[in-house]
Amino acid sequence: MSATAAPATTSAKVVLADYKDVWVFLQRQDRHLSNDSLELLASGRKVADQVGQRLVGLILGSSLKGLAEEAIDYGADYVLVVDDPALRNYHTLRIIDTLEAMIIKRKPYAIIFLATEFGREIAARLAYRVNSGLATDNVDFEVQDYFNPKFNEMFPKTMTQVRPDFGSRVAKIWTPRHRPQVATLKPGSFSPLARDPSRRANAKVEKVPLPRPGKTYAFIVKELVELPTPNVDLDHASVVIGLGMGICRGADGTPRNPIEAYKLATELKDLIERKWGLKTEIGASRELVMAQVKALEGIITRDHELGQTGTLISPDLYIALGVSGSAPHRAGIRAKKILAVNPDPDAPILLAAQYAVVGDLYDFVPKLIDTLEALPDSA
């Protein structure tokens, strides 16, 4: 190989029309496809329908029984399965090699990954290797005829990739001259399609052997250790109260002991559980977890981390106290309703909230507790 062997931009030899089918790289959770993967199938279905091609699910790993059928039930027309022990334990380089071989042979129109730790690194390196571009963290896709005024050129049936940009905006991204278009999808952006086992009648599963099985790597997975289940169950809470760095200061900038905010949150949690019978948990932004605030030692731990790198949550209500709402934080929150309290009127979390309170949480939360206490019992 050499850097000049296959230039990324001299794409004259790439005949765009040769590239067909929308691929999605599915990941598992225990013995099923992860919920994020079902969302990924829904996003891929949209693209496939708009471009008029098949949606192909990719399942790479070991002991994959039943997963291909799940992929079909949730939207795939075709599933490529590479089931080999060599693909266990997230062997990055082997998975990239496998995908590269599949892409060269089959020429997909697009390949979409989840914007998880693993999906991101695979997508990035693979995109470079197959001489294509990359658009990360998309929240939506749309197939359109794209006209570029600079080139004065029309690119028919191009996948428009929509991604957040510098906080509170979105940007549209195109990869008009390269195939496959490589993208990552931000979890929480699509809802899974309804499960439909009747789809199996018209769908197909193809088993693909591992390419270059004898190849050795300078990358050896020594072990994969499952982390213990956390003592906070953010996954199944109906209400989540999130604490951010803002709890360390009042709205006027005076330092506050963050334990006071934690106590207020606990009071609110107990009230909601007692009065409404809704399971409520307290979480924290990554910034607060990383800050390792002395007063919160042992109280706010990594198990409490919300957002893209922590626990992805989908409660009925998310109450954000002193959380600014960075893009990675918001990406991990898919609440039906958000109540955000922040003294900064420009805080991105306020933009995303159904209920926006511009003010001091130390002022607001006691009042909210009083108000909720005063309500007649719902039961």
Partner 1 sequence: MLIIALVKGVPSRSTKVVRVDNIVQRNEMEMIVNPNDEKAIEAADYLKRRVGGKIVTLSMGPDVRLKPVLMPLYNAEATGVDEEMILSDPRLAGSDTVATSYAVGLAVFKIYEKHIAPFDALIKLITGGSSMQEIEAKARELYDQNVLPNKVYNEDPGDRTSMIGHLVEGNLSRDEAVARLKTERANVTRFVIVAGIRTSDGETGSVGPQVAEVVSQKMGIELPHATYVEELDVDPDSLRIHAGRRIGRSIQRLEMESPVLMTFAPEYVAKTIQSVDFDRVIENYYKGKIKEPIKWTADILEADPARLGFGGSAVIVGPAIMMGAPSGQKTLGKSVVFTRKAEKTAWEGKEYGPFEKGDVADALPQTLKDDLTAKGALTTFTLAMLGAELLA
Residues 257-316, interacting with partner 1 (CB under 8 A): 272, 276, 278, 286, 290, 302, 309
185 and 161 in contact (C-beta within 8 Å)?
no
Stretch that binds partner 1, among 165-173, 196-204, 240-248, 256-264 (CB under 8 A): 165-173
The radius of gyration of the chain's CA atoms, rounded to the nearest angstrom, is 23
* Choice between 57 and 328, CB closer to partner 1: 328
The rounded Cα 312 to chain-centroid distance in angstroms is 8
Question: Pattern 30-69, binding to partner 1, x per CB under 8 A?
Answer: ----------------------------------------
Per rule CB under 8 A, is residue 239 in the interface with partner 1? yes
Applying CB under 8 A, does 256 fall inside the site for partner 1?
Answer: no
Site string for partner 1, 172-211 (x = CB under 8 A): xxxxxxx---------------------------------
CB of 200 to partner 1, least distance (A): 29
Rounded to whole angstroms, the Cα distance separating 60 from 172 reads: 30
For partner 1, which is the closer residue by CB, 54 or 343? 343
CB of 248 to partner 1, least distance (A): 17
- Residues in 323-362 that interact with partner 1 by CB under 8 A: 327-328, 337, 339, 351-359
Of residues 259, 320, 248, the one with CA closest to residue 288: 248
Q: What is the b/e burial string over 62-85, where b = at least 16 CB atoms within 10 angstroms of the residue's CB? A: eebeebbbbbbbbbbbbbbbbbbe
> Looking at 20, 120, 249, 279, which residue binds partner 1 (CB under 8 A)?
120
Helix axis angle, 361-374 to 258-276, nearest 10°: 20
Which residue, 203 or 339, has its beta carbon nearer to partner 1?
339
- Number of Cβ within 10 Å of residue 20's Cβ equals 16
Q: Is 170 in the site for partner 1 (CB under 8 A)?
A: yes
From CA 187, how far away is CA 113, in angstroms rounded? 10
Which one of 69, 121, 140, 260 is in contact with partner 1 (CB under 8 A)? 121
- Would residue 194 be called left, alpha or beta, if left means φ above 0 and alpha means ψ between -120 and 50 degrees? beta
Task: Give the shortest CB-284-to-partner 1 separation in angstroms.
Answer: 14
Pick the closest to residue 184 from 25, 20, 16, 307 (CA basis).
Answer: 25
Number of residues in contact with partner 1 under rule CB under 8 A: 86
Would you give the DSSP letter of residue 249? B
- Please tell me the distance from the alpha carbon of residue 67 to that of residue 29, in angstroms, as a whole number: 11
Q: Does residue number 379 form part of the binding site for partner 1 (CB under 8 A)?
A: no
Q: Which of 31, 32, 117, 233 binds partner 1 (CB under 8 A)?
A: 117
Distance between CA atoms of residues 111 and 44, nearest Å: 9
How far apart CA 313 and CA 376 sit, in angstroms, is 29
Q: Which of residues 125-164 bind partner 1 (CB under 8 A)?
A: 125, 127-129, 132-137, 148, 164
